[in-house]
Amino acid sequence: MPSDAIAQPVTTELTGREARWERHNSERQKRILTSAVELIEERAAGAEVSVQQIADRAGLAKSVVYRQFSGRDDLDRRVRAFVLGQFAAALDASMSISVGTLDQILTRTISAVAEWITEHPRIHEFMGTGPTDYDDESIDAISSLKATIADSARTTITEVGRSVGIDSSPFDSLPFAVVTMVEGTLTHWVRSTDPKPSREEIIADLAKYTWYMFDGVARSSGLQIDPHVELSTLIAELVSSDGGTSRPD
């Protein structure tokens, strides 16, 4: 083929057709992934969901599902990534520091995790069976989710520290420690058959433990933070007075 033939521009019609095809593919894949999640939610513990069942729920032929994914492993990885993305996006709203006291932010974030684990036990179980499509085999989707949440929290802490002129490095390992504690404790709580506290009680306990950890690191860095004062107000005070009333005398 002549080199100038390769360099010919793509027509507007072809570009438009390709764009529609890409959008169609994206919508079709989302339908398949959503159908897979629904079926996993509905299954009994340990029961398998077949590709045929997923295809039937999505209203597609089984061959169409296999054309969208390279195989069952690819489909499962994509389902985990799909769930992780949705949950991480929802959790970001809970973790927002623009509204609420630190105590309220911790409580609503832990509450969101507790709600997800208790309301979606089969999905939580499935997330622990393997990796997403962007992780290697050594990392299951739960581990990837914990790392994602911890990274988001660490980024927020770093940005706040930079804005108020405080070295945030002492807090670097705190987010992952907190996330691991919260997820592990909630998983144990959900699976426990012994008499156990209510969801509200376990959330309150975990929010308290998280605050103790945060407060310990803060005090070791020379900071005293009131968890019952609007966090945006505390940050504004630190910015305006180089520590203000949130630092010890």
The rounded distance, in Å, linking the Cα atoms of 218 and 67 is 53
Please say if the pLDDT value at position 43 is more than 70. Answer: yes
Which helix (DSSP H) or strand (DSSP E) does residue 155 occupy?
Answer: helix 141-164
Please say if the pLDDT value at position 21 is more than 80. Answer: no
Tell me the percentage of the chain whose pLDDT exceeds 70: 86
pLDDT for 89 equals 85
Please say if the pLDDT value at position 24 is more than 90. Answer: no
The rounded distance, in Å, linking the Cα atoms of 114 and 187 is 9
pLDDT for 92 equals 85
**Amino acid in position 151:** D
Please say if the pLDDT value at position 81 is more than 60. Answer: yes
Mean pLDDT of the region 73-88: 93
pLDDT for 164 equals 85
pLDDT for 16 equals 55
pLDDT digits (tens, 9 = 90+) for 119-165: 999 999 999 999 999 898 899 999 999 999 999 999 999 999 988 88
pLDDT band at 15, cuts 50/70/90?
low
| HSE of 72, CA atoms in CB hemisphere, 13 A | 7
pLDDT band at 241, cuts 50/70/90?
low
**Residue 186 contacts residue 202 (beta carbons within 8 Å):** yes
Q: Is 102 helix (H, G, I), strand (E, B) or coil?
A: helix
Rg (CA), the chain: 23
* Residue among 153, 149, 148, 178 nearest 168 (CA): 153
φ, ψ (nearest 5 deg) of residue 171: -90, 0
pLDDT digits (tens, 9 = 90+) for 195-219: 889 999 999 999 999 999 999 999 9
Mean pLDDT of the region 44-64: 92
**Residue 182 contacts residue 202 (beta carbons within 8 Å):** no
Query: Six-digit token pair at 103?
Result: 């105590």
pLDDT band at 19, cuts 50/70/90?
low
**Residue 244 contacts residue 144 (beta carbons within 8 Å):** no
pLDDT for 169 equals 95
Query: Six-digit token pair at 177?
Result: 């420690």
Please say if the pLDDT value at position 244 is more than 60. Answer: no
pLDDT digits (tens, 9 = 90+) for 55-72: 999 999 999 999 999 899
Mean pLDDT of the region 74-81: 94
Q: pTM to 2 decimals?
A: 0.79
Sign of CA dihedral 37, 133, 184, 102: negative
The rounded distance, in Å, linking the Cα atoms of 106 and 209 is 10
| HSE of 21, CA atoms in CB hemisphere, 13 A | 7
Q: Is 124 helix (H, G, I), strand (E, B) or coil?
A: helix
Mean pLDDT of the region 3-30: 52
